Amino acid sequence: MINFESDYTEGCIPEILQALTETNLEQTTGYGLDPHCLNAAKMIRKACNKRNADVHFLVGGTQTNLTVISSILRPYQGVICADSGHINTHETGSIEATGHKCLALPSKDGKITAAQIEDAVQLQKNDETAEHTVQIGMVYISWPTESGTLYSKKELTAISEVCRRYHLPLFLDGARLGYGLASKKCDLTMAEIADLTDVFYIGGTKVGALFGEAVVITNKNLKEGFRCQMKQRGAMLAKGRMLGIQFEELFKEDRYFRISKNAAECAEMLTAALKKKGYKFMYTPQTNQLFPIMTNEKIAELRKEFAFHTFGAVDKERSIVRFVTSFLTKKENVEKLISAL
């Protein structure tokens, strides 16, 4: 069985296992204050061209989202997101569990627009009953989105401008950041993303690491107390250096970007083949997640050899399929899938 279910079906890049083995008997202090974490943070600040950014290492995506968002909002504020945003759909209400509403805006492709945000703010400003509604407190976007799409530089710049105009911190969920940056459709750099947001994270779990996400806080108003917030949410790893060591390896010699290329290339191969064979897509293919529409018959047939998820029915005969490639996907497996299509 060849697995295209997700980009976390395998382990990590071999360099990480090697580094963990080499450093195994080192004695260091805990909780992310060790030399590896300090060094990895430095490497990330450099990669983002943000020498004053605070960098923190957390374990997983849901944990990161809830820790960051609850750190920013006042009790009566909520977070704008796409209705398809991960925090609104697939984190079992983790944001609400910290006391805050997800203010979901309709989205067809996983993205929201600067105009939607501005409209929401204006609507609240002009609402006589505004005090009775959850106050807009920040904006959350995923890049790439859960639909595999990307905000362009123009789109992200517009969102950033609206957020700054209304003093709304902009938080970018980069669980798959590497795959966005590696895409041919991408016109943004990590440094530009750091410029345009107030806080974002660089996903490790899905991009090369065993686990781990690096939060980069560029807005100085959001820095205070973040380590206390992490500890309280169970997001401060005792052997914190496990995260430092991994991110050191990921950011050595541009490895984070290079390993992401493999996923991009595999996705491009697969996209080209799917198009050639006449498949339609639910969302325009842009990164390592592809959503072709297939007959249920075809799906059943493919499932004999391949593991993948489906995302609901299009009509009685057809469903949405999701194929995901990763930093470890073998091209020969993509070819096998192509032959089977």
The region of 97-105, 284-292, 295-303, 314-322 touching a copy of itself under the rule CB under 8 A is 97-105
Residue 40 or residue 194: which is nearer to a copy of itself going by CB? 40
Nearest distance from C-beta of residue 266 to a copy of itself, angstroms:
14
Residue 79 or residue 194: which is nearer to a copy of itself going by CB? 79
64 lines the binding site for a copy of itself (CB under 8 A): yes
Q: Which of 111, 206, 255, 322 binds a copy of itself (CB under 8 A)?
A: 206
194 lines the binding site for a copy of itself (CB under 8 A): no
Residue 1 or residue 51: which is nearer to a copy of itself going by CB? 1
Nearest distance from C-beta of residue 30 to a copy of itself, angstroms:
5
- Judge contact between 100 and 117, C-beta under 8 A: no
89 lines the binding site for a copy of itself (CB under 8 A): yes
Residue 17 or residue 192: which is nearer to a copy of itself going by CB? 17
Distance of CA 338 to the CA centre of its chain: 27
67 lines the binding site for a copy of itself (CB under 8 A): yes
CA angle 38, 180, 70 (to 5 degrees): 55
Instruction: Provide DSSP, 304-329.
Output: TTEE-EEEEESSSSEEEEEEE--TT-
Non-local CB neighbours of 320 within 8 Å, separated by 6+ positions:
282, 291, 292, 293, 310, 311, 312, 313, 314
The region of 44-52, 61-69, 151-159, 254-262 touching a copy of itself under the rule CB under 8 A is 61-69
Non-local CB neighbours of 42 within 8 Å, separated by 6+ positions:
none
Determine the Cα–Cα distance for residues 112 and 128; give it in Å rounded to an integer: 26
Residue where the block lists tokens 């995506």: 61
Residue 201, helix vs strand vs coil? strand
- Judge contact between 163 and 153, C-beta under 8 A: no
Measured torsion, CA atoms of residues 321, 141, 71, 167, in degrees rounded to the nearest 10: -170
- What are 120's two structure tokens? 């929401």
**Looking only at residues 11 through 30 of this chain, which bind a copy of itself when binding is defined by CB under 8 A?**
11-12, 14, 17, 20-21, 23-30
**Looking only at residues 100 through 159 of this chain, which bind a copy of itself when binding is defined by CB under 8 A?**
100-102, 128-129, 131-135
**Looking only at residues 286 through 315 of this chain, which bind a copy of itself when binding is defined by CB under 8 A?**
307, 309
Nearest distance from C-beta of residue 157 to a copy of itself, angstroms:
29
276 lines the binding site for a copy of itself (CB under 8 A): no
263 lines the binding site for a copy of itself (CB under 8 A): no
239 lines the binding site for a copy of itself (CB under 8 A): yes
328 lines the binding site for a copy of itself (CB under 8 A): yes
Among 309, 305, 284, residue whose Cα is nearest residue 294: 309
The region of 39-47, 139-147, 236-244, 287-295 touching a copy of itself under the rule CB under 8 A is 236-244
Nearest distance from C-beta of residue 49 to a copy of itself, angstroms:
28
DSSP, res 204: -
